Amino acid sequence: GAGVSQSPSNKVTEKGKDVELRCDPISGHTALYWYRQSLGQGLEFLIYFQGNSAPDKSGLPSDRFSAERTGGSVSTLTIQRTQQEDSAVYLCASTLRDTQYFGPGTRLTVL
Amino acid sequence: AQSVAQPEDQVNVAEGNPLTVKCTYSVSGNPYLFWYVQYPNRGLQFLLKYITGDNLVKGSYGFEAEFNKSQTSFHLKKPSALVSDSALYFCAVSPFSGGYNKLIFGAGTRLAVHP
């Protein structure tokens, strides 16, 4: 596709369940970022992957959050034992050179 | 601490009038500066960026932004607003030259253009 895609677009889960969010970056983009957008916190950086380098995990809010990027392309953000405060829109972006291009996001609702 | 400020939660403009959405930043070095727009239930769309060179940069949909180093500002402007410009606008800064770094976002400014 032409842009960054994310799935699912919406996810409703129960507190305590694990969820996986997927991001397909733009083909050829070498860097991939995850952000979280919530009412109280605005847009927050979570994690970034650049080529074969170790990811920058400095934005992950707790050890319940993890992410991986397989084959330098698709990335999965996993949230274990979800809490209600995890409810937010999770945005993925990929980068070629200077500009980050964002996907449509996954809206996560934890009941 | 590095930060981006968008002092106005909302900007109201009449269609056809010029608009300005303000952004100031507190980041060391020579950051890259960006504006993004978000329409309801959509992701962020890139509008424009400043890296170096001319302080006035032009972007998508007729928007432009002026970089002012002494005031550490990067205000978004458009000479004639359209109703379809109504959306949420985010200013963002990439703290280090090179681009491959996290973005620090402002809180966002909602632009409402009235017919």
What does the radius of gyration of chain B's CA atoms come to, in whole angstroms?
13
pLDDT of B100 > 90? The answer is no
CA distance B7 to B70: 18
CA distance A91 to A107: 9
Whether residue B102 has pLDDT greater than 90: no
Contacts of residue B41, defined as CB under 8 A and 6 or more positions apart, other chains included, come to: none
Q: Is the pLDDT of residue B63 over 60?
A: yes
pLDDT band, very low/low/confident/very high, at B98 (cuts 50, 70, 90) = low
Residue A63 has pLDDT above 80, yes or no: yes
Residue A51 pLDDT = 82
Residues of A whose CB is below 8 A from B104: 45
Mean pLDDT (chain A) is 93
| B105 vs A: CB within 8 A | yes
**Any idea which of A5-9, A27-31, A89-93, B13-17 has the lowest mean pLDDT?**
A27-31
pLDDT at B97: 54
**A44-58 pLDDT, tens digit each:** 999 999 888 888 899
Question: Is the Cβ pair A42, B108 closer than 8 Å?
Answer: yes
End-to-end CA distance of chain A: 33
Range B84-110 burial, b when 16+ CB lie within 10 A, else e: ebbbbbbbbbbbeeebbbbbbbbbbbe
Average pLDDT over every residue of A10-26: 97
Q: What is the pLDDT of residue B49?
A: 95
**Percent of chain B with pLDDT strictly greater than 70:** 96
Partner residue facing A102 (CB), from B43, B101, B102: B43
Nearest to A43 among B32, B45, B90 (CB): B90
Sign (positive or negative) of CA dihedral B35, B40, B42, B43? positive
Average pLDDT in the B46-75 region? 95
Residue type, A89: V
Mutation target to probe the B interface, by most B beta carbons within 10 A, among A44, A99, A107 is A99
Q: How far apart are CA B99 and CA A95, in angstroms?
A: 9
pLDDT at B4: 95
